[in-house]
Structure 1
Amino acid sequence: MLHSDSFQAKSLGADLRTLRKARGMTLTELAEVLRRSVGWLSQVERDLSEPSVTDLREIASVLGVPISMLFGHVNVPVDEQGFIVRKGARREIGINKAGLSEELLSPDLTDDFEVVHSTFEPHSEVKDIITRPTQEVAYLISGKLDLWIGGRFFTVYAGDSFRIRGEPHRWINPYDEPAVAIWVIAPPVY
């Protein structure tokens, strides 16, 4: 087992800071929305203060993530923190709407990218056009998925991969089986 005494486990605070920055919010802006002091929020982001469950609910709501995303640091063995994500310990991310469920495969959100496991349920679709300032590459593990990327239509099949570089896009799974994909997204958005 490789272990470094200098390794400091990635934390709830670091993930909160990443989520806040991904939404273009300053400490002051988020603190104002939460009706908390900038000092308190700064301490939470530096893991010097632990937010209450009520605080976490409000933070999750403001940042647009499920509260389960913020509880993902619980019950991870210390020697695995920042390195390993066990299948049963993945954190749900996103809003789980339109028949899409997503789980974070990355140990945390402190890297320049995140890795996401996405399942598109049969006969589901996102009706709104998605545009975000990211670069994304996805690999379809199973199923089929119809995509519109930058005004172009594609059908991708198991084993295919695709890239989105900030273009407006949307998806639909009009088929009878789920489509499962692994995404790499930079910078992290969840």
Structure 2
Amino acid sequence: MLQSDPNIAHSLGADLRALRKARGLTLQDMANALGRSVGWISQVERDLSEPSITDLRHIAAKLDIAVSTLFRRGAAPAREEGYVVRSGARRPIGSRTAGLVEELLSPDLTDDFEMVHSTFEPHSEIADAVTRPTQEVGYLISGRLELEIAGQTFAIAPGDSFRIRGEPFRWKNPHDAPAVAIWVIAPPVY
């Protein structure tokens, strides 16, 4: 299990390590995929070596995340680091494909779960079902959403919550207003 120590300022290296482990990849797997040494990967994860933008693109591709996920929007004051994420300092995550805008609400990716703010733009949908080795719970704040989970379709309204446990799912917002949801995902996938 991933553990978070609130006394330690989390970093790019810590996030990379957490994402690698959440995907069941070893240092050797990453080294092989990137054409780098295990030592270099280890140094990056311990913040002893700084990867180039090209390296980050390759790492993001191997971890199946958007490269923007690896960058922080705004630095938190030292006493808030690891505790508070201000609304203007959320990290964008995901790829923004299909009209979905996601921001990380968790301070970093080093916990056993991540919390995500998701905005489903009007008249948007994901074409293909997604299956992830996760447990996810969502809560719809505003708008309306159609969810298909394991072949069943559900109309989700504000105040409704839902759970997905490794099942294939799709979403659709056929309405004129955005739908906004909070998701908790374990283990972290972004």
User: When the two structures are superposed, what TM-score results if normalisation uses the length of structure 2?
Assistant: 0.92
Aligned to 2:3: none
Superposition map of 1:111-126 within 5 A: 111-126=111-126
Q: How does 1:64-83 map to 2 (within 5 A)?
A: 64-72=64-72, 75-83=75-83
Structure 2 residue aligned with 1:184: 184
Structure 2 spans left out of the alignment, 5+ residues:
1-5
- 1:24 is matched with 24
Residue 73 of structure 2 contacts residue 89 of structure 2 at CA under 8 Å; is this kept in 1? no
Offset from partner CA, 1:54-93 (integer Å, 9 cap, x none): 3222212322222222121763322222111111111111
Q: Which moved more, 1:168-177 or 1:42-51?
A: 42-51
Q: CA RMSD in A?
A: 1.5
Whether contact under 8 Å (1:11, 1:73) holds in the other structure is: no
Q: In 1, are the aligned partners of 2:143 and 2:180 still within 8 Å (CA)? A: yes
The normalised TM-score by structure 1 is: 0.92
SS at match of 2:97: coil
Counterpart AA for 1:119: T
Deviation at 1:115, TM superposition (A): 0.1
Is residue 3 of structure 2 the alignment partner of residue 13 of structure 1? Answer: no
Q: Tell me, what secondary structure is at the counterpart of 1:21?
A: helix
Q: Which residue of 2 aligns with 1:50?
A: 50
- Secondary structure (helix, strand or coil) at the match of 1:138 reads strand
After superposition, give the CA deviation of every residue in 1:120-177 in whole Å (9 maximum; x if it has no partner). 0111111111111111110000000001111111000011111111111111111111
Q: Say if 1:22 and 1:187, in contact at 8 Å, map to a contact too.
A: yes
| Long gaps (5+) in structure 1 | 1-5
Letter in 2 for 1:161: S
State the shift of 1:12 in Å: 1.1
Query: How far apart are the structure 2 equivalents of 1:90 and 1:28?
Result: 32
- Aligned partners of 1:74 and 1:122: how far apart in 2? 28
Question: 1:26: how far off?
Answer: 1.4
Query: Which amino acid in structure 2 is aligned with residue 188 of structure 1?
Result: P
Contact 1:147–1:154 under 8 Å retained in 2: yes
Large movers: runs of 4+ above 4 Å? none
Q: What is the aligned-residue identity percentage? A: 69
Q: The residue matched to 1:98 in structure 2 has which SS?
A: helix
Query: Secondary structure in 2 aligned to 1:79?
Result: coil
Q: Which moved more, 1:123-132 or 1:59-68?
A: 59-68
For 1:3, the equivalent position in structure 2 comes to none
Q: Is contact 2:73-2:90 (8 Å) kept?
A: no
User: Which residue does the alignment assign to 1:175?
Assistant: 175
SS across alignment from 1:65: coil
Q: Give the structure 2 partner of residue 92 of structure 1.
A: 92
Q: Aligned with 2:42: secondary structure?
A: helix
Contact map agreement 1:12 1:73 (CA 8 A) in 2: no
Equivalences for 1:137-156 in 2 at 5 Å? Answer: 137-156=137-156
- The DSSP-based 3-state class of the residue aligned with 1:132 is coil
**Number of residue pairs matched?**
185
